[in-house]
Structure 1
Amino acid sequence: MHQRKIQNTPVSLTELGFGASVIGNLYRVTPAEEAAAAVDAAWQAGLRYFDTAPHYGLGLSERRLGAALKGRPRDEYVLSSKVGRLLVPNEDPRGVDSEGFVVRDDLRRQWDFSRDGVLRSIEASLERTGLDRLDIVYLHDPDDHWRQAAEEAMPALAELRDQGVIGAIGAGMNQSAMLARFLRETAADVVMLAGRYSLLDQSALDDVLPAAQEHGKSVVAVGVFNSGLLSRDRPTEGMKYDYQDAPPELVARALAIAEVCERYGTSLPAAAIAFPYTHPSVVNVTLGMRNPDQLARNVELHRRTVPEALWDDLRAQGLIRPDVPSVALTARNSTG
């Protein structure tokens, strides 16, 4: 699978990445053997970028991912995790986690973007994964913690990067405005942008993507299906958009885009995966993959050829913004 380099770092990512939130029992239980099989299938398909976080299943995702990768050549893959939420004993457990993961709540999350919190979080992640290093570390959802994240956490990560302990550093969020600040004002190399550069939302063209180009930095795109509305060939009422029921007007627009995709011999989800690569700063699209079937489908969608003329047609019809750049996608289909 073709790889792209995070600018000005030694880290290269396969164009498709494995998002491990779902193997942390996001929304429903994923059996351990199914999670392990998903990682195995990803490896066999050529994926070499794996992303996790302490938040995902209160450490379950990190433990499962580390176990599945253990024994594989460490220099052949890139592992990212995140800091900002320490896992600490829960003095008042209710039985099940309250933040969307079907796991026991013996632990709870504690916000901490201090230097000490960053170092403790990385050490705990290494213990849970059982691996020797993290290649990328992101600040995780620092929306309400800009000052501490920018003034304490990011300098601590930069020090580790400059010592060669970490290959690249950045931040991951569901908004784009603050991510642009991280690119412009801090030592971040890369940002994980969730849902803000998709077929239905190109708001990152106003901030994150120009900042990345201006400063020679990179973007990993996640949430490209916008919580599900772009995940099926023909979207319908009742599908989710940004974790809520999709408004009828967005369902209609998604359906209109789907019809254009069909005329070009492709599909809405294939175009949703290909779309972020219209911008040269995007180096990877990472998708959540719960089992081998989901893995196989996503890999097949990624490998479909999406004609560049599709973007021209969508622009002409006002279905995507007119300032979406035109970038040849030949490299996307490379297996080099």
Structure 2
Amino acid sequence: MNTNRAFEEAVPQVPGLDFVVLAMPYTLLDQDCLHRGLARCLREGISVVIGSPFASGILAKGSRGGGNCDYGQAPEAVVTKVQGMEAVCARHGVSLPAAALQFPLEHLAVASVVSGAKRPDQVEMNVRALGEATPTAFWSELRTNELVDPEAPTSE
């Protein structure tokens, strides 16, 4: 599912659902489904596989990399938010791809993240990013700067 609305409407209609693949509504950029859709999955024991953790590219390429967001050109507000995240990343020595890949995995309903890769070097980057240290102070600063939902679970 690619939208929060589809996520919230489809899950209740499928009794006995084991898992859902969710692409876009839960990324470092957008946690709109945190309090409803993901909360429901957690309550009902439905695992979530996050697709598109890089928000269609901008969280892998960064604000200057020409990355798309939500399958199209990133709006200025998104670019500005990513720039804020990049500043926090720089202060804590964390790469933006590491934050993007690790963030959704902290939610107890999330079983896996499918990052996608077109080339071997992208696979290698993803593996490195998953193993990169993301200090507690990093996540705290993202919250303080209102760059992520204050109730989103992180490694604190």
Instruction: With the length of structure 2 as denominator, give the TM-score of the two structures.
Output: 0.90
Partner in structure 2 of residue 205 of structure 1: 34
Where 1:283 maps in the other structure, the secondary structure is: strand
Q: How far apart are the structure 1 equivalents of 2:154 and 2:102?
A: 12
Equivalent residue number for residue 215 of structure 1: 44
Structure 2: tracts of 5 or more residues without a match: none
Structure 1 length as normaliser, TM-score?
Answer: 0.44
Amino acid at match of 1:286: V
Tell me, in whole angstroms, the C-alpha distance in 2 between the residues paired with 1:278 and 1:325.
6
The one-letter code of the counterpart of 1:201 is D
Task: Please list, as runs of the form range in 1=range in 2, the aligned pairs for 1:246-261 lying within 5 A after superposition.
Answer: 246-261=74-89
Contact 1:176 1:207 in 2 (8 A): no
Unaligned runs of 5+ in 1: 1-172, 329-336
Q: How far did 1:278 drift? A: 2.6
Decide whether aligned partners of structure 1 residues 277 and 256 sit closer, same or farther in structure 2, where only a CA change above 3 A counts: same
SS in structure 2 opposite 1:206?
A: coil
Q: Structure 1 CA distance, aligned partners of 2:140 and 2:114?
A: 25
* Deviation by residue 1:6-30 (Cα, 9 ceiling, x = unmatched): xxxxxxxxxxxxxxxxxxxxxxxxx
Q: Hey, what's the Cα distance between the residues in 1 that align with 2:118 and 2:48?
A: 24
How many residue pairs are counted as aligned between the two chains? 155
1:86-137: CA deviation from partner (whole Å, max 9, x where unpaired): xxxxxxxxxxxxxxxxxxxxxxxxxxxxxxxxxxxxxxxxxxxxxxxxxxxx
Alignment partner of 2:118 out of 286, 290, 295: 290
The corresponding residue for 2:72 is: 244
Following TM superposition, the consecutive aligned residue runs of length 4 or more in structure 1 with deviations greater than 3 angstroms are: 180-185
Distance 2:143 2:76 in 1: 21
Does structure 2 conserve the Cα–Cα contact (< 8 Å) formed by 1:212 and 1:281?
Answer: yes
Match of 2:145 in 1: 317
* 2:115 counterpart SS class: strand
Name the Cα RMSD after superposition.
1.7
Paired residues for 1:61-100 under 5 Å: none
Partner of residue 17, structure 2: 188
Considering Cα pairs closer than 8 Å and 6+ residues apart, tell me whether 1 or 2 has the greater RCO. 2
1:226 and 2:55 matched: yes
The structural deviation recorded for 1:326 is 3.8
Conservation of the 8 A alpha-carbon contact between 2:58 and 2:65: no
Assess, with a 3 A threshold, how the Cα gap between structure 1 residues 321 and 284 changes in structure 2: closer, same or farther: same
The higher radius of gyration belongs to 1
